[in-house]
């Protein structure tokens, strides 16, 4: 395969299993107030104290990035849970700016990692437990990530669904930004977490996107935070699954593949930036204070679901 080494059938099946489990657990966490509290508060406390100090030691997840990622994603989940369940927060302008902020922080963590790996000059060498190849693709994708942050719009436009699940909706986060994010994030995982990219670059990205386009439209960020936190907790609890088991999948470390996925990410995010600038010029709106895409069908559909 171009991106990954040739895989047996059961790794394709496991990819579907991981995807399905992420969808299922996300549904539990969003539909049940108690379920969300258990998954994102109680369970992480137990794992932090009793499990992760042992399971992560001398593994591919024993580094600053994985710890930063699991706790920043959990911070997002807890914050989103509070916004959804406490009216004093879901009607507060500044509380509603927390989701875009935590999203930007998560993207910036990956940008820093891409630049870090790019500067190491590795050529299919082990770095923190994974084969890694540095190159111009790291800088290309780092720039794509910065553009992805710049194109986050409607920071104060988040609202709550009138459905029983009280999903956190973001009308101004239209499908084209989500697609650009997914391409960028896959490129990031492929660049910097190459031997984990089969699961966290495919199943983990598809799960929130599919959920946002089908099960609960407009709640992509909520789905993304939930599934990311769930995957990170699993990876830190059972790192051998993605590192040493028969289900482990290794990247091809093909420089042409590395370059191509980062180029696609850069082009996609430049395209979103160009469209954003076009809308700013046309509407004379500040995208960081006001919602920008109010005339688009993607915005109107989600806004109609809000309280």
Compute how many other C-beta atoms are within 10 angstroms of the C-beta atom of residue 29. Answer: 26
Per-residue pLDDT of the chain (307 residues; tens, 9 = 90+): 689 998 899 999 999 999 999 999 999 999 999 999 999 999 999 999 999 999 999 898 998 889 999 999 999 999 999 999 998 998 888 898 999 999 999 999 999 999 999 999 999 999 988 999 999 999 999 999 999 999 999 999 999 999 999 999 999 999 999 999 999 999 999 999 999 999 999 999 999 999 999 999 999 999 999 999 999 999 999 999 999 899 999 999 999 999 999 999 999 999 999 999 999 999 999 999 999 999 999 999 999 988 6
Contact 259, 253 (CB under 8 A): no
Query: SS3 sequence, 98-130?
Result: HHHHHHHHHHHHHHHHHHHHHCCCCCCEEECCE
Residue keyed to tokens 């993605």: 242
Q: What pLDDT score does 276 carry?
A: 98
Taking Cα atoms as reference points, which of 223, 271, 236 lies closest to residue 22? 223
Helix pair 204-213, 9-31: axis angle to 10 deg? 50
Share of the chain above pLDDT 90, in %: 90
DSSP 42-101: IHHHHIIIIIHHHHSTTSTT-SHHHHHHHHHHHHHHHHHHHHHH-HHHHT-TTGGGHHHH
- For residues 32 and 27, what is the distance between their CA atoms, to the nearest angstrom? 8
DSSP letter at 259 equals: H
Q: What pLDDT score does 188 carry?
A: 97
**What's the pTM?**
0.95
Q: What pLDDT score does 8 carry?
A: 94
Q: What pLDDT score does 1 carry?
A: 64
């Amino acid at each position: 395969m171009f991106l990954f080494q040739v895989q047996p059938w059961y790794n394709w099946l496991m990819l579907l299993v991981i995807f399905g489990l992420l969808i299922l657990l996300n549904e539990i966490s969003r539909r049940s107030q108690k379920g969300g509290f258990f998954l994102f508060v109680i369970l992480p406390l137990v794992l932090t104290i009793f499990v992760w100090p042992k399971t992560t030691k001398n593994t591919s997840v024993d580094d600053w990035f994985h710890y930063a990622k699991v706790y920043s994603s959990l911070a997002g989940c807890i914050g989103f849970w509070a916004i959804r369940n406490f009216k004093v927060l879901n009607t507060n302008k500044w509380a509603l700016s927390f989701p875009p902020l935590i999203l930007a922080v998560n993207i910036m963590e990956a940008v820093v990692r891409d630049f870090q790996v790019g500067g190491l000059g590795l050529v299919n060498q082990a770095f923190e437990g994974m084969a890694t190849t540095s190159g111009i693709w790291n800088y290309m994708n780092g720039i794509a990530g910065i553009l992805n942050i710049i194109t986050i719009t409607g920071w104060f436009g988040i609202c709550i669904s009138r459905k029983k699940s009280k999903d956190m909706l973001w009308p101004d986060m239209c499908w084209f930004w989500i697609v650009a994010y997914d391409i960028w994030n896959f490129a990031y995982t492929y660049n910097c977490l190459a031997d984990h990219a089969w699961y966290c670059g495919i199943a983990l990205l598809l799960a929130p996107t599919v959920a946002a386009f089908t099960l609960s439209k407009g709640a992509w960020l909520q789905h993304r935070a939930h599934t990311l936190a769930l995957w990170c907790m699993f990876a830190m609890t059972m790192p051998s699954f993605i590192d040493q088991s028969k289900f482990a999948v290794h990247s091809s470390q093909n420089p042409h593949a590395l370059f191509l996925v980062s180029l696609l990410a850069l082009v996609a995010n430049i395209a979103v930036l160009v469209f954003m600038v076009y809308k700013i010029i046309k509407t004379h709106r500040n995208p960081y204070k006001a919602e920008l895409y109010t005339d688009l069908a993607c915005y109107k559909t989600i806004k109609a679901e809000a309280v």
